[in-house]
Structure 1
Amino acid sequence: MSAMLLFLCVIAAIAIWWSAGQGLLSKPWLEVGIASGPRDGHDADRPKLPVQKVGLGVFLAVVGALFTLFISAYLMRVNTQDWWATPVPRLLYVNTAILFASSLCLHWAKVEAVRGRREQLRTAMLAGLMTALAFVTGQVFAWRQLVAAGYLLADDAATSFFYVITGMHGLHILGGMVALARAARLVRTEAIVTPRLRLSVELCATYWHFMLAVWLVLLALFAGWAGSFIAFCRQLIT
């Protein structure tokens, strides 16, 4: 339960940080000059939040809730007597580094999109797409290592949870790759970096950063670090 609350706090912190950056937490009724109307046209010229960003925020909240439910079920099951922990393949740590590199590539693409440098943006998008594919491929190989070691899907609850949760995360990465491929296609077809292209790259980067954060929490859960971290926090509080 404590680990689930910690995960919820992490997701909430990410959501609040992202919302604040997009202006969703602003209070226009407290701003000076709102009651008397726009002054000098500044308020009228203020850009509105694109509906795509609001939609992505809602979608990420749903995804966060989904993984929270998985983690809650995992933690309730881990305390039973017939629980046998599944070993974490070392390849997962390599895959984590690859996903981190993919997230960095998407951040690079976002920066290049803001600067309007199309060629550099194209390179960054391609690098992000290739590293994402490498991550998914690495996850499949990690599954094959477990199968070769005799850990099958229907053997025990721990192994089943591992396959289901990592598989669900992999499916979300694949879905993100579809959006990323579309954005990369826009880079190739658009002569310049248009606002639509810039928005598409920004949404992909936000999604990638979120999925990296989710994966880090999942890796900590499977490796047993989450329990150690919670115990350490309890010692600090008491």
Structure 2
Amino acid sequence: MSAKKSDIETPAQVLSMHPRKFLLWLFIVSIVMIFASLTSAYVVKQSEGAWLIFDLPQAFVYSSIVVLLSSATMQWAYWSAKKDNLSQIKVAVGATLALSLVFLIVQYLGWGQLVDQQVFFVGNPAGSFIYVLTGLHAFHLAAGIVFLIIVLISTLRFKVHSKSMTQIEMCTTFWHFLSGLWIYLYLFLLLNN
């Protein structure tokens, strides 16, 4: 007895992801959980009263612009890698790296503006929260800078191109996440201050 074509089982298509990409997404989810818990704690603590009211530093507006520009240059690097335009990858990753350093400098200046307003890490919880939220983001951005340097070195060694995209895809994903996280934090602080 012969089997009909419809009786033959076709194997189910297996969904797979590169193990490093999977780890990156686990890392991103853990960061989201940390910031979700911190922003929730912020709202709860603020509702208890005795909350210090202050203006967000003007520097945070500039750092928001810088982080969005860095996200655009990182996307440019990704598109350049897909097109095997190695010289543009180097320029775009280098520009992202430079903008990320500018972001950290502007954040530092923003903390100085907070001190000028008598907002300190110790004392009122409002000050503590703003330093913890922005400082923790800066720490993760520093990790992103290390990732950018690794991608830049790989690019200089001709290891980033259209047939080897995993590293730059991961870096681009993480960088867009960091940019989005900063915009979320800035808007959260702006609306809940």
TM-score after normalising by structure 1: 0.73
Distance 1:219 1:191, change over 3 A: closer
**What is the correspondence of 1:34-53 to structure 2 with a 5 Å cutoff?**
35-37=9-11, 48-53=16-21
The one-letter amino acid paired with 1:168 is: L
SS in 2 for 1:153: coil
C-alpha separation between the residues in 1 aligned to 2:16 and 2:47?
Answer: 49
Q: Does 1:188 align with 2:156?
A: yes
Would you say the 8 A contact 1:95–1:139 is kept in 2?
yes
Would you say the 8 A contact 1:86–1:159 is kept in 2?
no
**What is the correspondence of 1:42-191 to structure 2 with a 5 Å cutoff?**
48-190=16-158
Distance 1:79 1:50, change over 3 A: same
SS in 1 for 2:10: coil
For these two proteins, the number of residue pairs brought into alignment is 188
**Structure 1 residue 34: Cα displacement:** 9.4
Would you say the 8 A contact 2:83–2:162 is kept in 1?
no
SS in 2 for 1:151: coil
2:188 paired residue number = 221
Q: Give the aligned CA root-mean-square deviation in angstroms.
A: 2.4
Would you say the 8 A contact 2:82–2:162 is kept in 1?
no
**Structure 1 residue 36: Cα displacement:** 2.5
TM-score after normalising by structure 2: 0.89
**Structure 1 residue 149: Cα displacement:** 2.7
Distance 1:209 1:222, change over 3 A: same
- For structure 2, the 5+ residue unaligned runs are 1-5
**Structure 1 residue 172: Cα displacement:** 0.3
The one-letter amino acid paired with 1:102 is: S
C-alpha separation between the residues in 1 aligned to 2:123 and 2:178?
Answer: 28
**1:75-134 deviations in Å (ceiling 9; x for gaps):** 001112211123201110011000000000111111011111100111000001000110
**Structure 1 residue 192: Cα displacement:** 6.6
1:202 paired residue number = 169
The one-letter amino acid paired with 1:131 is: L
Identity of aligned residues (%): 24
**1:9-65 deviations in Å (ceiling 9; x for gaps):** xxxxxxxxxxxxxxxxxxxxxxx9993349xxxx7xx99521111111111111100
* Runs of 4+ with deviation above 6 angstroms: none
**1:164-190 deviations in Å (ceiling 9; x for gaps):** 110000000000110110000011112
C-alpha separation between the residues in 2 aligned to 1:34 and 1:184?
Answer: 50
C-alpha separation between the residues in 1 aligned to 2:8 and 2:163?
Answer: 28
2:178 paired residue number = 211
